[in-house]
Structure 1
Amino acid sequence: MGIDAILTLAVVVVAATLFISEKLPSDVVALLVLASLLVLQLVTPAEAVSGFSSPATITVAAMFVLSSGLSASGVVHAMGRLVARVRRPLPMTLLVMALVGLLSAFINNTAAVAVFLPIVLASTAANRIPASQLLIPMSYAAQMAGVCTLVGTSTNLLVNSLARNLGHPGFGLFEFTQLGLIMLAAGFVYLLLVQRWLLPHAHNNETDDDDQLGKYISELQVPSNSPLIGHSVADAKLGERYGVFVLELLRVDNAVAQPRAETIRAGDVLIVRGDWSRLSAVIDKNRLQTAPDFQPIDPGNGNTQPVLAEVMIAPGSALVGHTLVSPECHWHYRSAILAIHRRGDVLRSKLRDVRLRVGDVLLLRAPGNELPSLRRNPALLVLSAREHRVFMPRQALLTIAIM
């Protein structure tokens, strides 16, 4: 065995050790391997950087860009709402595997799992289903569907690139599809049959607290083009369809005595309670408007990606005892207040009439560049913040067409 072979083997062993130990990020390890081969003169500089111009590398990078487009245009968010509507474990597992499998056939399967992971965790928590029952089937579905097309997994792309470099004709986009679909169907059947017995049923101990925190009180106004107009609250069946419950119906700021039997009119305000994901679905489907009294006065830079932020009224806050329309609450003028949560209490009044207490949690939609200001405010504690994805039909159709 020559010295070059020994050095190459040593680099491989060290790289494998670093990958297994996870002491360094995988991308750092890969760059260290490249640098080591170059320093040891096992490859030439041209060979060292040739991989960056490989069609396989560029295609994988393009797949990650495409997956980001699916997420930014709201396609993935719409899929998440579809998954959240399913209440039973077996149909939810089948739906998740089908959606992930469809995406994994055309974008990198790692990217597909990455964008679906928060959706599955949120949907299982909302329906009190163990996440462990869906994560393994989702992962396996992505792997099995990824081999159905040439672009579904980086391994197929790499083999295709090597074959072409060696003078072979390479593979077509759907050359593996027939065999891949057979394996995919067999895998689906197996996972659905053995899921109940082989997968753990562990619940997250924090689920109850998180679920309680997610029960928000929101104020929704009915515009003139809402499909709810002409129906009674009982006929709308918001509780049965979405898990959102109407607490009060306000008409000209006065509570209606029997809201469930009252016919909804334009301009009515519904005080509702539910998880924000479900409230958001009700708003979109029925064209409702959130808390019209608390839209941002100064929206700031429209090019900034909006975020959903949960902020809590801190102990000793100067806001305690004040309402959201008082001068002390000027901090939210660039944010839209969507809902409020008060642990152990169900509020039935308009948001502008609620006097804040320590521990109240407000859900805000704010410009992304407003978060540092909220974090610096001593009266507030920012509990969480995530990008607010809005479904954009034209961009979504364009992204799907590109895919």
Structure 2
Amino acid sequence: MRRCDQETGEGLVRTGIARRLGDWLLARARGSATRLLVLLMLIVGLTGSVMSSTGVVAIFIPVVLRICTRLGIPPGQLMMPLSVAALISGMMTLVATAPNLVVQAELTRQGLPGFGFFGFTPFGLPILLLGIGYMLLARRRLSAGPAEDGTTPGARTTLRQLVEDYRLQDRAHRLRLRAGSLLAGQRLDKLALRARHRLNVMAVERPARFGTEIFSPNAETVLRADDELLVELPATPQDLAEIARRLGLQPLPIEHSDLAHRPHAVGIAEMIVTPGAELTGKSVLEAKLRSRLGLTVAGMRRGNAPVAEDMLEKPLQAGDSLLVVGPWTDIRRSQRGRRDLLLLNQPEDLEELTPAATRAPYALLSLAVMVALMVSGLVPNVQAAFIAGLLMLGFRCLDMDSAYRAIHWPSLVLIVGMLPFSLALQRTGGVTLAADALIATVGEAGPHALLASLFALTAVTGLFISNTATAVLMTPVAIATAQETGLSPYPFAMIVALASSAAFMTPVSSPVNTLVMGPGRYRFGDFLRIGLPLAVLVMAVSVALVPLVLPLR
């Protein structure tokens, strides 16, 4: 089931839904760091309730870095809130994190009904609000800051920076094919737009059933009426108007942001001509990179200066830098075998690639089907997740390679490896011994003291091993403690699940913390200083809430 859940999350990434959440976040924040933190934690907390928390963090790290660069906020101010929200998202639903599934599996193994899909939500939502309030107060205690060289940690050249370096904004235009245009129904290679009009088509935006489809054209691409072309053309406004009139094109306004956002669908990268390359001495037109490699040259730099005049006709030299546009697959393919062009700079935006953007409605439909099946109980949760994974593949939100890469194999191996260890503890009496020790220590103080002690023991165990392994070890102890004291096992099992997700205190407690440590430039002590008080607060809220929702008797 965890494998199918990870595939569903990968489908949300490939179809661009996760990226659109990031764009929405930036727009709604309106430059306010406080509003940004609140919205970020809400979005991450809710998104992580239906997909892997590790996957959510991996999606949002480049989004947060981009936002920090734009707003001038140190990444350390947002990376810790990101990890906290992702960990708390594991308390929202049954499938949100592996420890929940471990707890569910142990209940089922012992012949007890498991929790429902939203059985965790009454605890996760209040704890998420608590986490947001706490991080608003605690964020200034974070000592993380920019790197010594003044750059944002983990940041690379962005699409916007590449556009500015090659002065592409001065030569880029948007043109729509009018009905009856001479170009409609014609193949690009037959039109020879670059040779005849110096018009270089970088991307095509075409109406589709859901929104628009944006792609990088090749020599065989047939243009259609109403296509919008993103073109590179060194021309004055008067020359542009004349070319548009002759070809039946309508000039459209273009914003700087168009150049930074269109390439998410088509790909843009910086390459350098290698010494001894076959391209040396040939012009861009003579090199025929579009037909050979599927790449369009949108800009050139020689030395430290961009080449604007006669770029297509200038003979290429070793060391020339080229800004190329094309499908990401063709950019990667150009690096195989003999490499006349060496990938010099791959913008950070590549990590937010959405190669199946037009399949977004189908990804949402697949996710909705999974949730509906889990809530209704028509099929077991494992089958519901499996059906969602099949739908993602059937709707082409995923391909098999992406589905395979989306699986976090270390988590699966860890769970499979720890289960026999847990079983051995039960059969040798280790679980009973641990439960008896817990009861003897705090049993007389009452059920709430038992819950608090169990939470603390689980959280401390999570300091040394992963939260998934912690759940594997502690769930049998929790159930045994409840049974020996004549109490319901459900509050105790829920406490273990919540405590396993409250892995705020060290960077090794969860992959989520490990991911944000580098970009946020945190030290080990930062997690302890921020995470320990939060873990205590979460324990207090959990011990108070759990018996109210899940009666002790």
Alignment of 1:4-403 (within 5 A): 59-85=1-27, 87-203=31-147, 205=149, 206-207=151-152, 210=157, 212-213=161-162, 215=164, 217=168, 219-224=172-177, 254-256=235-237, 266-268=249-251, 277-280=260-263, 308-314=268-274, 319=279, 323-326=283-286, 328-330=287-289, 333-337=292-296, 339-340=298-299, 342=301, 345=305, 352=312, 358-366=319-327, 368=329, 371-384=332-345, 386=350, 389-392=355-358, 393-402=360-369
Give the structure-1-normalised TM-score: 0.59
Separation in 1, partners of 2:336, 2:12: 30
Match of 1:150, SS?
coil
1:250·1:268 contact (CA, 8 Å) conserved in 2?
A: no
Call closer, same or farther: CA 1:333–1:186 in 2, change over 3 Å: same
Q: Shift of the alpha carbon at 1:162?
A: 0.8
1:315·1:359 contact (CA, 8 Å) conserved in 2?
A: no
Larger Rg: 2
Identity %: 26
Match of 1:363, SS?
strand
Report the RMSD for the aligned CA atoms in angstroms: 4.2
The runs of at least 4 consecutive aligned structure 1 residues that moved more than 6 Å come to 249-253, 269-272
2:284·2:297 contact (CA, 8 Å) conserved in 1?
A: no
- CA deviations on 1:352-377 (whole Å, 9 max, x unpaired) are 46775634232332362663444444
Call closer, same or farther: CA 1:350–1:62 in 2, change over 3 Å: farther
Q: Shift of the alpha carbon at 1:127?
A: 4.5
State the one-letter code of the partner of 1:340. Answer: G
Most deviating of 78-87 and 351-360: 351-360
Between the two structures, name the one with larger relative contact order (CA 8 Å, sep ≥ 6).
2
Q: Shift of the alpha carbon at 1:256?
A: 1.8
Structure 2 gaps, min length 5: 179-229, 371-553
When you count helix as a share of all residues, which structure comes out higher?
A: 2
Call closer, same or farther: CA 1:308–1:210 in 2, change over 3 Å: closer
Separation in 2, partners of 1:276, 1:146: 37
Call closer, same or farther: CA 1:356–1:84 in 2, change over 3 Å: farther
Q: Shift of the alpha carbon at 1:277?
A: 3.5
Q: Shift of the alpha carbon at 1:141?
A: 0.2
Separation in 2, partners of 1:338, 1:330: 8
Give the structure-2-normalised TM-score: 0.45
Match of 2:9, SS?
helix
2:175·2:231 contact (CA, 8 Å) conserved in 1?
A: no
Separation in 2, partners of 1:166, 1:347: 72
State the one-letter code of the partner of 1:186. Answer: L
Match of 1:268, SS?
strand
